[in-house]
Structure 1
Amino acid sequence: MPDPIDFYFDFASPYGYFASLRIDELAANHGRTVTWRPILLGAVFKVTGMKPNLEQPLRGEYLTHDVGRIARLTGAPFTFPDSAPVNGVAASRAFYWLSDDHPEQAKLLARALFHAHFGEGQDIGPAGAVAEIAAKTLGSLGIDRAAVTTALQDPVVKDRLRTEVDDAVDRGVFGSPFVIVDGEPFWGWDRLDMVDRWLATGGW
């Protein structure tokens, strides 16, 4: 079996959200699986020297226009959150708490967090909000608020997120979404069509 496709994203990224709605189906069409890897662009920006798009003149205004246009194009639920750019630390920690032993549950949680934030405009920065969404999404599987709240403060979980961010930087990841297919990097939601073609042809 070929290696999984690596899908890097920040929960604060609307482009990461749009990519999350498509990446698994795209990969499955080519017999591939996807490893989801949330990261923190704030830590990456310390390396690149950049600032969040929303904090940059001109680029921030373009982003707010562009993501609405993408939502209309794709039919994706979208409400620009007042809390943008959100701090994705709690959301990312919750994901990695689940991912090793329960990767599909972790993906379910990531999708629910993305939908809450960009589909409904909720603030998913606070630990309490993440715990509530996790309990609502995975409660039938035995995940409750208390377990999530405890996990978010677990040093092992904190270290895991730091390691994932460091590893991402080492692999050249600098934005969200960022997809790596057999060592080949693709940055941006608008590169998914290229990823699709790369998988179909074996590259060029």
Structure 2
Amino acid sequence: MSREARSMTIEVYYGISSPWAYLGMPRLRAIAAEEGVALALKPIRIIEANGGIPLRTRPIARQAYHVVELKRWRAYLGMTLNVAPKYYPCRTIEPAARMVIAAQRAGMDDVALSWAIQRALWAEERDIADDETLAALAREALGATAGDLRHLADAPECVAAWDANLADAERMGIFGTPTYVVDGELFWGQDRLDCVRRRIRGLRFGEPAAC
């Protein structure tokens, strides 16, 4: 089947404050552009029903290794990342996540907005739980089209979509973020992005999956 014959979407279930989602976003965007697929961002919170555990409640040994891995990936990818940012863990992620949803619903560039929020937390020492910061990030990412996006995020439809994303993730068996979904198949972690690309090509061109 040709590339043109099948349109595809990568569904992205992720925590807006996840360092792994941040590290994966540039490559995810590159895959989408190079393979001609759409991105459907699905911001969610911790999936406790499927075993999700906040980092700060994990054993100290796991927290320490988490930092080791972040440093490895930061170096490997050549990205700016503060492994202990001033505003992490976030007081709340819901307003930021719902603002991405509001941008989606308004037909704005939700991917650009999400990236601005993620970068603000992990590379710019900005508080993504602060309303004024979020409003500023929306203007920076979207320009004049951003309007009053922060307050639009409080609309009942955005709240409902936020809850629906989590319910869908639970139903699909997602337990951690980021999880990328291609044609119903789950790929957990930014270190599986090469597998995401191979899956897309396999579906389109019949190429064998290598992972």
Deviation at 1:176, TM superposition (A): 1.0
Deviation at 1:157, TM superposition (A): 1.6
Q: Does 1:138 align with 2:142?
A: yes
Deviation at 1:3, TM superposition (A): 3.0
TM, length-normalised to structure 1: 0.87
In structure 2, the partner of 1:19 is 24
| CA displacement, residues 34-92 of structure 1 (integer Å, 9 cap, x when unaligned) | 21211112xx12x0344212431111111122112211110112123122222320111
Q: How does 1:43-192 map onto structure 2 within 5 Å?
A: 44-45=47-48, 47-57=49-59, 58-80=61-83, 81-86=85-90, 87-103=92-108, 105-141=109-145, 143-144=146-147, 147-192=148-193
**Structure 2 Cα separation of the partners of residues 149 and 95 of structure 1:** 9
Q: 1:34 to 1:152 in 2, by over 3 A?
A: closer
Unaligned residue ranges in structure 2 (runs of 5+): 1-5
**Structure 1 Cα separation of the partners of residues 180 and 123 of structure 2:** 22
Q: What is the aligned-residue RMSD (CA, Å)? A: 1.8
Amino acid in the other structure paired with 2:157: V
**Structure 2 Cα separation of the partners of residues 199 and 149 of structure 1:** 34
**Structure 1 Cα separation of the partners of residues 151 and 199 of structure 2:** 42
In structure 2, the partner of 1:7 is 12
Q: 1:132 to 1:67 in 2, by over 3 A?
A: same
In structure 2, the partner of 1:32 is 37
* Bigger shift: residues 51-60 or 3-12: 51-60
**Structure 2 Cα separation of the partners of residues 52 and 4 of structure 1:** 29
In structure 2, the partner of 1:196 is 197
**Structure 2 Cα separation of the partners of residues 164 and 136 of structure 1:** 26
**Structure 1 Cα separation of the partners of residues 13 and 36 of structure 2:** 20
**Structure 1 Cα separation of the partners of residues 144 and 65 of structure 2:** 41
For residue 21 of structure 1, give the secondary structure of its aligned residue in structure 2.
Answer: helix
| CA displacement, residues 72-131 of structure 1 (integer Å, 9 cap, x when unaligned) | 11011212312222232011110111103315x211110100111112132212233212
Q: For the Cα contact (< 8 Å) 2:101–2:153, is it kept in 1? A: no
Aligned residues: 197
**Structure 2 Cα separation of the partners of residues 32 and 157 of structure 1:** 24
Q: For the Cα contact (< 8 Å) 1:11–1:91, is it kept in 2? A: yes
**Structure 2 Cα separation of the partners of residues 152 and 26 of structure 1:** 28
Identical positions, percent = 26
In structure 1, the partner of 2:3 is none
**Structure 1 Cα separation of the partners of residues 202 and 165 of structure 2:** 30
Q: For the Cα contact (< 8 Å) 2:50–2:170, is it kept in 1? A: no
Unaligned residue ranges in structure 1 (runs of 5+): none
